[in-house]
Amino acid sequence: MSETAEVIIIGAGVHGASLAFHLAERGVRALVLEKATVAAGATGRSSGMVRMHYDVEAEARLAWRTHAGEARFTGVGFLQMVPPHELGPLRANVAMQQRVGIATSVVDADEVRRLLPGISIEDDQAAAFEPLSGYADPTQTTTSLMAGAVARGARLVQGCAVHAVRTAQGKVVGVSTSRGDFDAPVVVDAAGAWAGRVAASVGLELPLNVWRHDVAYVQRPPDIPRHIGFIDFLNAFYSRPEGESLTLVALEDGNPLQGDPDAPVDAAAVGFIERAAERVVRRLPQFARAGIHSAHSGQDGITPDQHPIIGPAGPDGFWLDCGFSGTGFKIAPAVGASLAQLIVDGPTANPDLALYRLERFAEGKPIVGEHPYGPIWY
Ligand SMILES: Cc1cc2nc3c(=O)[nH]c(=O)nc-3n(C[C@H](O)[C@H](O)[C@H](O)COP(=O)(O)OP(=O)(O)OC[C@H]3O[C@@H](n4cnc5c(N)ncnc54)[C@H](O)[C@@H]3O)c2cc1C
């Protein structure tokens, strides 16, 4: 006889783990099926940046609700730097975030110089400053959520690849996997870069590409202390310290799309390290003395508007929790809490996630901020 659960979650990344935790907290028997191991996908490769600066209010709210929940959170602070022509949107977005309750303010170039010593910045540039932001350990966050879920009655099966979602008379009845069939009336697709393949098994064609992103770690010379984290729109890169002696650097441009979700991710692209080093030295000339430590790559599902797809879709009982487009780590605990509420209490129970429904693409209504900066990845 096949094993039954109330909800099957496909994928034990940070989103599958968060949903399992929040369902288990509500007393729902969740079964998480993971083809590899916990955090084997995007989550385990994630830069773990935790910031609240979004041009979409719903995302800023989700990030703020989450930010106390990550494991091994390091509060180094965060600067969102923009070029002079984006100062208007920056001010408007900071005002929106302040209304949400987020600790953030606009700071001028002199204050940026104080917060990030050694930075090369023109007087007409400015930034949003978030004193409470920083970074967390995505693998640790996910294993803690998963352990919390299991302690509350959820079950995790690793090394179990879902081949197809099974339906009968238009309703989900379970999944077939490399370890046989499992039954449940609700199945959630939290399969990251592979989510399109899972959805195809119920006849859904998701507007989802595979986004590939390289990350470099540089070794700081001993006289460059741990620094604040930042995103620099002008130079299209972001950076944060990693522990006491390393600095992470990654680029917003040159992230290829439409790759293979199974492509190996151990090595960064040829030439990436040189591009990353040039970018960081442009802003922080003292890094010309830094050494290269290592680099890796990672892949996430990305949608055309670079925002996730969350909610019911296709046959009764099938839910999407995917397409996090390279920015999904920091919102996972809040998304899992809201989605668990929707699954248990019905789609009208919580309006927080309504924005992320799949239908927006077919309706030609992509998510755009009120004071948009444009796409983060290009
Ligand atoms: C290099 C990189 C840097 C990033 N930096 C940041 C950042 O600084 N801040 C931020 O907020 N976000 C960041 N992100 C984005 C964030 O990490 C992702 O949005 C998030 O981790 C996605 O989590 P997930 O659970 O949806 O997917 P994943 O972590 O990819 O999990 C999906 C899981 O599903 C499993 N799976 C797939 N198919 C099947 C199947 N058929 N059967 C069973 N299991 C299956 C996979 O093995 C995988 O473990 C980054 C992403 C990358 C790649």
The residue to mutate among 31, 35, 45, 46, having the most atoms of ligand 1 within 8 angstroms of its beta carbon, is 46
Using the mean position of ligand 1's atoms as its centre, give its distance from the Cα of residue 377 in Å. Answer: 16
Summarize the confidence of residues 70-83 as an average pLDDT. 91
The answer to whether 141 touches 163, Cβ cutoff 8 Å, is no
Q: What is the mean pLDDT of the chain?
A: 95
Q: Would you state the pLDDT for residue 350?
A: 77
What pLDDT, on the 0 to 100 scale, is given for residue 258?
83
Confidence of residue 374 (pLDDT cuts 50, 70, 90): confident
Q: Tell me the pLDDT band of 72, cut-offs 50, 70 and 90.
A: confident
Q: Which amino acid is at 357?
A: R
Q: How many whole angstroms from 215 Cα to the centroid of ligand 1?
A: 15
333 lines ligand 1 (CB under 6 A): no
Q: Model confidence at 376, in pLDDT bands (50, 70, 90)?
A: confident
- DSSP run (H or E) holding 140: helix 138-151
Q: Is the CB of 10 under 6 A from ligand 1?
A: yes
Ligand 1 close to Cβ of residue 69 (< 6 A):
no
- In three-state secondary structure terms, 282 is helix
The predicted-structure confidence for 159-168, as pLDDT tens digits, reads as follows 999 999 999 9
What is the Cα 376 distance to its own chain's centre?
A: 13
Closest ligand 1 atom to 298 CA:
53
61-75, 125-139, 216-230: which has the minimum mean pLDDT? 61-75
- What phi, psi does 186 have (nearest 5°)? -130, 130
Tokens representing 254 are: 């040159």
Quote the crossing angle between the two packed helices 87-100 and 57-66, to the nearest 10°. 50
Residue 71 reports pLDDT greater than 90: no
pLDDT of residue 186: 98
Residue 11 Cβ contacting ligand 1 at under 6 Å: yes
The Å distance, Cα 43 to ligand 1 centre, comes to: 4
CB 40 within 8 A of CB 142: no
Backbone angles phi, psi at 170, to 5 degrees: 75, 10
Residue 68 has what pLDDT?
63
Structure tokens at 332: 């996972």
**Residue 306, CB-side half-sphere exposure with 13 Å CA sphere:** 18
Contact 347, 312 (CB under 8 A): yes
Render pLDDT for 80-90 as a digit per residue (tens, 0 to 9).
999 999 999 99
Share of the chain above pLDDT 70, in %: 99
Model confidence pLDDT, tens digit, residues 213-267: 999 999 999 999 999 999 999 999 999 999 999 999 999 999 999 889 999 999 9
pLDDT tens track for 252-271: 999 999 889 999 999 999 99
- Tokens linked to 176: 């077939």
318 lines ligand 1 (CB under 6 A): no
How confident is the model at residue 1, as a pLDDT? 54
- Percent of the chain residues past pLDDT 90, beyond the cut: 93
For residue 92, is pLDDT > 70? yes
Q: Is the pLDDT of residue 69 over 70?
A: no
Question: Which residue is listed with tokens 């790559």?
Answer: 297
